[in-house]
Amino acid sequence: MPPRARFTPAAVLDAALQVVREGGLSAVSARSVAKALSASTAPVTAAFATMQLLNDAVVERLLARLTEAVEEASGPDPLRAAAFAFARFTADEPNFYAALFLSPHATPPDWVRIRRSFAERLDRCERFASLSPRQRDALAWRASVVTHGICIEIWSGRWDRTRDDDLRRLVDQLVEPITAEYLRSAG
């Protein structure tokens, strides 16, 4: 008789992420995750005492992925690079975007972490060097609001031109005016 398969919490979380990718956060249940594992519900309930703990872990993992994408974004303007990374994440994984930002959360995620990942990059760019940390945060907040608008258009399918150059052009057209106006008024 072969040994029973063992499922680590990481494997259960990976299966839950697959469920979210295919059906959204509301599709996550012990049964749907077990089905993705090709197992009974026992590994799911053994790894996570409650579905809320599993949902919180899913959201935390998605937030970490998005934050990593934003922090790794490169380009001459760090704010637009971060906004592009956010839009690219949404175009590549619309259900992940929805799970993070369009689903109710019993335990609110650390939304400030995303904005901070926008703002912290600005002190490394000459264009934003004269801004105080508070001003950089305020500019990042404005850019993130515009970026969410872009992401909603992508998520909803109203903006379907998701090649990199199309997304960069859209980000440039919408984020740059906000940035330029803020720098003008802060200067």
Please give the DSSP secondary-structure letter assigned to residue 158.
Answer: S
Residue listed under structure tokens 């945060």:
137
Domain boundaries, the chain: 1-49, 62-186
Q: pLDDT of 126-164, one tens digit each?
A: 999 999 999 999 999 999 999 999 999 999 999 999 999
Task: Write down the pLDDT at residue 54.
Answer: 97
End-to-end Cα, the chain, rounded Å = 74
- What band does 2 get if pLDDT is binned at 50, 70 and 90? low
CATH fold for domain 1-49: Arc Repressor Mutant, subunit A (1.10.10)
CB 79 within 8 A of CB 175: yes
Comparing CA positions, the residue from 18, 160, 24 lying closest to residue 101 is: 24
Comparing CA positions, the residue from 159, 148, 154 lying closest to residue 91 is: 154
- Give burial (CB, 10 Å; 0-12/13-18/19+) of 163: exposed
Looking at every residue in the chain, the average pLDDT score rounds to: 93
**Mean pLDDT within 107-124:** 83
CA 79, CA 174: separation in Å to the nearest integer? 12
Here the tokens at position 173 are 């057209």
- C-alpha angle 158-87-141 in degrees, rounded to nearest 5: 110
Here the tokens at position 154 are 């992508």
Q: pLDDT of 68-80, one tens digit each?
A: 999 899 989 999 9
- Angular region, 65: left φ>0, alpha ψ -120 to 50, beta rest: alpha
Here the tokens at position 21 are 């990718």
Report the predicted TM-score, pTM, of the whole model to 2 decimal places: 0.92
